[in-house]
Amino acid sequence: MSLSIQEVTPADAPLALLLLADPSERKVRAYLPGARCFAARMDGAIVGICAVVPLAQGSHELMNIAVDPARQQRGIGTRLLTHVIDTYRREGAQRLEVGTGTFGYPLAFYQRQGFRVFQVDRDFFLRNYDEAIVEDGIQHRDMLRLALDYRPAY
């Protein structure tokens, strides 16, 4: 089974997958129309999705990246994120940002790809989500803002 990654319209981004990474349907529906989406496909089915929105000139934010739970831990998310990083690098972006919890798998996932913490948004998850977001028995409170700064090629 081969994996292919391609850009898809926001309308073609599977909401069920997006909600795995961001449980607020209201928030997902708010950023999705302005997002650029990338899908990982296996045997024609979307098994991973990523949504990126523009910020300031040359900066973009990775709002969501998710892989079908039955296909996780197979490198699909890494390949999808690498594709997004490479796409924006080729297009001349200066920075790619992401927000995540202060602990857990996602933090290490982004750090392995070169993202570095630049800010802490205290009580973000308490202010922005109606239901508690719990991972490994611990409630997320603060959000870490991470960035991957692209260096110009000389």
Task: Quick: pLDDT tens for 100-130.
Answer: 988 888 899 999 999 999 999 999 998 988 8
Per the domain annotation, does 63 fall within a domain? Answer: yes
Per the domain annotation, does 154 fall within a domain? Answer: no
Query: What are the pLDDT digits (tens) for 52-71?
Result: 999 988 899 999 999 999 99
Number of domains in the chain: 1
d(CA 29, CA 119): 25
Which letter, b or e, does each residue of 76-100 get, where b requires 16 or more Cβ atoms within 10 Å of its Cβ? bbebbbebbbebbeeeebbbbbbbb
The candidate with the shortest Cα–Cα distance to 24, out of 117, 135, 130, 99, is 130
Per the domain annotation, does 80 fall within a domain? Answer: yes
Q: Residue 33: what residue type?
A: P
Q: What pTM was estimated for this model as a whole?
A: 0.90
**Residue 69: domain span:** 3-149
CATH number of the domain to which 112 belongs: 3.40.630.30
